[in-house]
Amino acid sequence: MEENKVIEGAAVENAALEAEAKPAKPAKEAKPAKEAKPAEEAPKRVANEDFNWDAFENDLDLYGGNKEAVEQKYDESLSNVQVGEVVEGTVVGITKREVIVNIGYKSEGIIPIAEFRYNPELAVGEKVEVYVESAEDKKGQLVLSHKNARQLKSWDRVNQALENDEIIKGYIKCRTKGGMIVDVFGIEAFLPGSQIDVKPIRDYDMYVDKTMEFKVVKINQEFRNVVVSHKALIEEELEAQKKEIMSKLEKGQILEGTVKNITSYGVFIDLGGVDGLIHITDLSWGRVNHPEEVVQLDQKLNVVILDFDDTKKRIANWVAYPIHSCYRVGKYERSNAWKYDPEVPEEFQVDLSRGSYNGRPIRGHQCMSYHRYVSYSSLLNEQTFYSTNIMPQDPDFNSGSWGGLEDLTLKYISYPDTLYNVTGTYGVQGYTTDKEGNRVAIPQYCWKVLLRTKSGRTGKRIDQITDASQLAAIGYWAENSSTTTGNIKQYITSVADIEEKTGYKFFTMLDEAIAADVKAQNNPSDWGIN
């Protein structure tokens, strides 16, 4: 073979010399040398067992080993790729459209960069899992998929994240009704709007195409539904801040806050991790019909701390509502839709959706369900089941004296004029928890104040009445206890007395002089109480 090589080389040299001497015929003279080059032929993949070692044997010295050594090197140079497997590869290149991944095979795999949208920080050298779809396509190219690899292992990972309370990354794909769709491990998870941030979100679109950190909060294995939360991460960070802020709060202290939420009854202020409520009556010296007349969202305000509670009582202090026949046109069945009030941050509310409180207390209405039965709006009845309208009550008290008081108000449903009703709680006798483990205060007392026209035929609004004798008012104050009997009369008092006990000011729509006379009334007979 060596001799042949020398002769062949000489022939090439002679051909070159002849080409210099006869430049008109270089191609014909060089042709035999060109045909002798096997490297010009397309390479073919040959399996180990079919390799012609006898033909290759004479060139072993070029590799510095014997047949067995070369065979071993050959086996080690290529990975044994199985179609349908998930393997780990290394990113070796990134273009605008593709990611190039090396899994140790004879060729590298090309994956659309869209499959890595959830990871915008992907870099060369990073390890990624890929699914082998095909060892070769028509072009001899290895076909891989990162998306399929993620999906195959996604449910194991998402369950593990929930079990271990892990922080994971997800890519927000798009908006949907009530929230966002998030890509988590290749699964489309739901991010409720209320779980994006601790503050209300007014522009969901700003989060689309962003990668954020989340916690898995709920998995429905049957329907393969996953719910994630970003708010849970923020709350953990704020909890430590809240404790520090609350430890420094003092009554009379002036702080700067940001308007977080506006409701019909007041404004929620963010004090840097702690939320406070400015009641509508404290927004201005003058009368305010709606807080939006005075403040705007995200507005900075200086506020004074009137009072604070660091125990998270999670009970409604008071509820004000009118009673009139218009709320009972037709009939709508009792909804029993126990849920959060959408106008109030959930951190202030008790979760009643899974049943009543742990222990003896039951769910007691302030505005009773029976006062909001209308065929034209199911929402009115559903609102009576918001946690902002519910308080923990002793079951004997609820069905006894409190139940009798509710029956008293029912007689005015068909009354020509409106009955104004304010109901609330006072003091704390102890604590219970809801089914989710949230701490809930049990009120020491329950109270109610009522205001109506005596005749019901004045033809005027309450604020237009100039004679106190045309109005009737009454107060009720009783302990939230099984020892409170069903006799209402012994718990009747004046509205002025309730004001003194609670510190609240009632019926501000009335002229102050008229209001003083009305609130001083204590006439059970005006209400049919003997």
pLDDT of 395-445, one tens digit each?
Answer: 999 888 888 888 777 777 767 788 899 999 988 888 888 887 778 888 999
User: Residue 2 pLDDT > 70, yes or no?
Assistant: no
144 residue type, one letter: L
Whether pLDDT at 13 is above 50:
no
Cα distance between residue 122 and residue 465, in whole Å:
73
Extract the runs of DSSP E, i.e. beta strands, from 33-126: 86-94, 98-102, 109-112
Q: Using the predicted structure, report yes or no on whether residue 42 has a pLDDT greater than 60.
A: no
pLDDT recorded at residue 349: 83
Query: Strand pairing partners for 475?
Result: 449, 493
Q: How far is the C-alpha of 106 from the C-alpha of 125, rounded, in Å?
A: 18
Band of residue 137 on the pLDDT scale cut at 50, 70, 90 = low
Contacts of 165 (CB under 8 A, 6+ apart): 215
Query: What integer is the mean pLDDT of 55-59?
Result: 53
The string of pLDDT tens digits covering residues 63-73 is 455 556 655 55
Place of tokens 């892990």: 166
Cβ atoms within 10 A of the Cβ of 396, count?
18
Question: Which tokens go with 176?
Answer: 């949907």
So what's the pLDDT on residue 519?
A: 93
- The bridge status of strand 471-479 relative to strand 439-453 is antiparallel
Residue with the two structure tokens 């033809």: 459
Kindly write down the DSSP assignment for every residue of 228-285, as one continuous string: EESHHHHHHHHHHHHHHHHHH--TT-EEEEEEEEEETTEEEEE-SS-EEEEEGGGS-S
Average pLDDT over residues 112-135: 86
Of the listed ranges 52-56, 177-181, 317-321, 323-327, the one predicted with least confidence: 52-56
Centroid of chain to Cα 306: 32
Which band of pLDDT confidence, cut at 50, 70 and 90, is reported for residue 57? low
Which pLDDT belongs to residue 497? 92
Query: According to the model, what pLDDT value does residue 80 have?
Result: 63
Please state whether beta strands 362-365 and 300-304 pair in parallel, antiparallel, or not at all (unpaired).
unpaired
> What's the pLDDT band for 495 if we cut at 50, 70, 90?
very high
pLDDT at 49: 55
Per the model's pLDDT, the better-predicted residue between 293 and 46 turns out to be 293
Predicted confidence (pLDDT) at residue 41 exceeds the cutoff of 80? no
Least confident of 115-124, 242-251, 415-424, 446-455: 242-251
Q: What is the mean pLDDT of residues 167-174?
A: 91
Average pLDDT over residues 48-72: 55
Res 76: pLDDT: 54
Residue range 286-296: mean pLDDT, rounded? 86
Q: pLDDT band for position 221 (50/70/90)?
A: confident
Residue 21's pLDDT is what? Answer: 42
Quote the radius of gyration of the chain (alpha carbons, Å). 40
Mean of the per-residue pLDDT values of the chain: 78
Q: Residue 115: is its pLDDT beyond 80?
A: yes
Structural contact between residues 367 and 387, judged by C-beta atoms closer than 8 angstroms:
no
| Cβ-contact 231, 197 below 8 angstroms | yes
Mean pLDDT of 193-208: 80
Which helix (H) or strand (E) segment holds residue 169: the answer is: strand 168-176
- Widest CA span of the chain, in angstroms? 139
Q: What percent of the chain has pLDDT over 90?
A: 14
Query: Which pLDDT score is estimated for 285?
Result: 80
Beta-bridge mates of residue 87: 130
Burial 130-144 (b: 16+ CB within 10 A, else e): bbbeeeeeeeeebbb
Mean pLDDT of 325-348: 78
Q: What residues have CB less than 8 Å from 286, skipping those under 6 apart?
A: none
